[in-house]
């Protein structure tokens, strides 16, 4: 499967060579889209460790499986992908790509958005951007680092 978007396929150059195989959780409430996306990601050399259709399912899968990446539809059955991501990010940062049929504003630090329909090369680029995203600074870690720096000799 070369694409989820109509039109001529575009070549993906070095997509899997530049990225190590990832363990990915997909959150998508449209079954056919979830299956096609999963097949696309597996063809790129990644492992899809879960496909969830609900907000609660995503939070539970992300907590239990600790994936390398989340690919999350903004609108999920029984809730919101954005709300689910807020809960996941409270536990710890996970690189993520938010997908939607509508234009989505950047909802959180480190979020990468992708509008449907998209090409295989688009998801490859989005994954690279998500993996390169710097997680937001943890205030507790910043305080600990500052306290350690203050106590060391100048």
What does the domain layout of the chain look like in residue ranges? 23-151
Give the residue-averaged pLDDT of 25-54: 97
Give the residue-averaged pLDDT of 33-52: 97
Q: Per-residue confidence at 19, pLDDT binned at 50, 70, 90?
A: low
Distances (CA, A) of 45 to 32, 51, 59, 122: 20, 17, 24, 16
Q: What is the pLDDT, as a whole number, of residue 149?
A: 54
Domain 23-151 superfamily per CATH: Response regulator (3.40.50.2300)
As a whole number, the mean pLDDT across the chain is: 81
pLDDT in tens, 90-103: 999 999 999 998 87
Proportion of the chain above pLDDT 90, given as a percent: 62
């Amino acid at each position: 499967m070369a694409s989820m978007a109509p039109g001529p396929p575009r070549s993906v150059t070095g997509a899997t060579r530049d990225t190590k195989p990832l363990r990915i959780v997909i959150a998508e409430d449209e079954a056919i889209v979830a299956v096609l996306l999963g097949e696309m990601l597996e063809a790129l050399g990644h492992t899809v460790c879960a496909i969830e259709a609900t907000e609660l399912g995503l939070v539970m899968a992300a907590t239990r499986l600790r994936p390398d990446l989340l690919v999350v539809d903004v609108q999920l059955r029984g809730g919101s992908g954005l709300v689910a991501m807020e809960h996941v990010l409270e536990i710890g940062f996970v690189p993520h790509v938010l997908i939607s049929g509508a234009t989505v504003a950047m909802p959180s630090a480190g979020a990468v958005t992708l509008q449907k329909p998209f090409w295989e090369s688009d998801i490859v680029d989005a994954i690279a951007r998500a993996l390169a995203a710097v997680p937001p600074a943890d205030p507790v870690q910043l305080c600990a680092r500052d306290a350690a720096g203050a106590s060391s000799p100048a």
